[in-house]
């Protein structure tokens, strides 16, 4: 049981690091001045490496081995915790720290440059940044594929949807294709018979933000544990105790 408590303590520390990373990312997208991005990207890549090395530390693997040998002493909840910890650990041990750092740096640079390039419709300028992100993702996919025996795409897919494969997705979308087009046509025909309400703008950013906050209040969003801000690309992040939502308002 000591091994379980040590493992739990390690992952509580890791959760704190992830909390800090989430808040740094939120600030980068909503509050940070443009001139701070290089320093912020460096800090966030260092934090990403710290999270990675905390997860793949040699003692973590030893604790997992010890726990596996005495799993009958764990509660059902603890067994679930260990299952998910082992999954995270197995995924993380595939990657070297330098690749984790490079991916974090490339992602920060690409996203930050995209804000200006999006505004200027400069897709040719955006391409080199995206190319770097894609190349690093492909490198990761190949490493995961070699480790798991899955195809590169399935190895990456498993990160987000455990057990899902392209074969299962092909069957799922084949079923959708058999009935979705007809349903879409029915909806279009039905809408033709209904009078549409045409909003009369323009609507100020302040009014749009106020409407969003009213909807959040109707849904009992706890503004004591979260907030709504503005970013070029809307997102929801943070942690359960500190939820960060952002929106982008049309002008």
The tokens of 85 are what? Answer: 């910890």
Q: What is the mean pLDDT of the chain?
A: 95
Residue-level pLDDT at 230? 94
User: What's the average model confidence in pLDDT over 85-108?
Assistant: 97
The predicted model scores a pTM of 0.89
Residue-level pLDDT at 1? 59
Residue-level pLDDT at 201? 85
Residue-level pLDDT at 251? 77
Domain boundaries, the chain: 1-94, 96-181, 205-247
Query: Greater confidence, 250 or 53?
Result: 53
Confirm if 128 and 91 have CB atoms less than 8 A apart: no
The tokens of 243 are what? Answer: 């939820």
pLDDT digits (tens, 9 = 90+) for 166-223: 999 999 999 999 999 999 999 999 988 888 888 888 899 999 999 999 999 999 999 9
pLDDT band at 238 (very low <50, low <70, confident <90, very high): very high
Q: CB-based contacts of 245: which residues, under 8 Å, 6+ apart?
A: 216, 226, 227, 228, 229, 235, 236
CA dihedral 228, 230, 233, 238 (to 10 degrees): -40
pLDDT digits (tens, 9 = 90+) for 32-49: 999 999 999 999 999 999
């Amino acid at each position: 049981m000591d091994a379980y408590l040590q493992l739990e303590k390690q992952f509580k520390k890791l959760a704190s690091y992830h909390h800090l990373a989430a808040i740094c990312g939120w600030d980068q997208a909503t509050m940070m001045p443009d001139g701070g991005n290089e320093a912020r990207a460096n800090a966030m890549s260092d934090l990403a490496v710290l999270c990675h090395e905390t997860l793949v530390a040699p003692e973590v693997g030893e604790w997992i081995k010890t726990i596996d040998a005495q799993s009958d002493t764990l509660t059902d909840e603890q067994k679930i915790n260990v299952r998910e910890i082992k999954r995270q650990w197995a995924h993380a041990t595939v990657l070297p720290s330098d690749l984790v750092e490079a991916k974090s740096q490339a992602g920060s640079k690409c996203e930050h440059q995209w804000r200006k390039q999006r505004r200027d419709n400069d897709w040719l300028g955006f391409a080199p940044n995206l190319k770097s992100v894609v190349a690093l993702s492909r490198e990761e996919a190949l490493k995961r594929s070699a480790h798991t025996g899955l195809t590169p795409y399935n190895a990456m897919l498993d990160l987000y949807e455990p057990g899902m494969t392209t074969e299962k997705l092909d069957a799922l979308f084949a079923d959708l294709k058999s009935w979705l087009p007809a349903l879409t046509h029915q909806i279009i025909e039905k809408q033709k018979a209904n009078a549409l309400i045409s909003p009369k703008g323009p609507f100020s950013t302040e009014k749009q933000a106020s409407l969003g906050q009213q909807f959040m209040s109707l849904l009992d969003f706890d503004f004591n544990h979260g907030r709504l801000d503005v970013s070029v690309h809307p997102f929801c992040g943070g942690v359960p105790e500190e939820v960060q939502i952002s929106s982008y308002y049309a002008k």
